[in-house]
Amino acid sequence: MTKPTTEYLIAPMSAARGLTAQLTGLDHHGQRQVLNVVEERPLTIFLNSQEIVTAMTIGDYPEYLALGFLRNQGMLQADDQITDISFDEELETIVVRTARTTDYESKLQKKTRTSGCAVGTVFGDMMEGLEKVRLPRSDIKTSWLYTLAAAINRTPSLYLKAGAIHGTVLCRQDQPLVYMEDVGRHNAVDKVAGWMLSESVTASDKILYTTGRLTSEMVIKTAHMGIPILASRSGFTAWGVEIAKQVGLTLIGRLRGKRFVCLAGEERLIWDADMDKIPDDPKAAVRKGLEK
């Protein structure tokens, strides 16, 4: 297995001020304990003059979150010219302006509340445009999966500092590139999408790794981003798997230690890992011992 690397283009802001608060409480022994707790705050996103949504977020990359959300909801088109992005920290608002006149009043009237944490909301028809998605052929070596998981799980992050947060990492082969966190995994994915949009990054050779469940929303967002492979240490939903099969997305879950399960797009897998060199998941070893 390749040695894990943490040379990110964007790494988690685990030491940034204002992302966590220290609160005092009592533990199970009745002793006072100081705990790091993730802060969350509202961010209202405008597209030109129209208010689109208010999202609860940690507030670290508002520009990327706004761009990614609008792009993943189909409100920003691939050829849209972004003329300005204005963030007002005091008013907790961000305005994305485009050269094209936009009006999504009818789309905003139709909502689907998703299973995403922090009340994720997808506007309009969740399946809109998926029939046109054609994900590229992009092989993935199993050795890359193990290297990525080892590197990402050891990266200093808000999750390790305070918990109660999700992470999403954009990767290429066995190299993690951009690591975003937020109270909802959908926000973390939108931040990645916003960074890709702002930097004109291609998606065809990328892998998206998430710490959260592989739900329909996660699959749809990944497919619309054009990324052919989605992996997680968590589990699946049946609808998420069904959609992944429809769009030709490789869906890999329960990635822990030596183990993973691929429920869609298995034709991309190249089985090259030396399993004798992959460490077991400590939690799996404990479960195995209990079963005996």
The predicted pLDDT at position 201 comes to 97
Query: Distance between CA atoms of 97 and 48, rounded to whole angstroms?
Result: 5
User: Are 276 and 155 part of one and the same domain?
Assistant: yes
Q: Assign 159 to helix, strand or coil.
A: helix
User: Are 166 and 228 part of one and the same domain?
Assistant: yes
Does residue 20 contact residue 162 with C-beta atoms inside 8 Å?
Answer: yes
User: Are 121 and 154 part of one and the same domain?
Assistant: no
Question: Considering the entire predicted model, what is its pTM?
Answer: 0.88
User: Are 107 and 247 part of one and the same domain?
Assistant: no
User: Are 58 and 149 part of one and the same domain?
Assistant: no
The predicted pLDDT at position 125 comes to 53
The predicted pLDDT at position 228 comes to 98
The predicted pLDDT at position 7 comes to 84
Write out residues in the chain with pLDDT < 50, as ranges.
1-5, 113, 115-120, 285-292
Q: Looking at residue 265, which CATH number applies to its domain?
A: 3.40.140.10
Q: What percent of the chain has pLDDT above 70?
A: 88
Residue given tokens 């969740």 in the structure block: 126
Helix ranges (DSSP H) in the chain = 62-72, 105-108, 142-153, 158-162, 185-199, 216-225, 238-247, 282-291
The predicted pLDDT at position 164 comes to 83
pLDDT tens-digit profile of 108-162? 765 554 544 444 455 555 567 788 888 998 999 999 999 999 999 999 998 888 8
User: Are 226 and 272 part of one and the same domain?
Assistant: yes
Which structural domain range is residue 176 located in? 140-291
Pick the closest to residue 146 from 288, 9, 281 (CA basis). 281
The predicted pLDDT at position 119 comes to 44
User: Are 272 and 144 part of one and the same domain?
Assistant: yes
The predicted pLDDT at position 4 comes to 44
* Structural domain total, the chain: 2
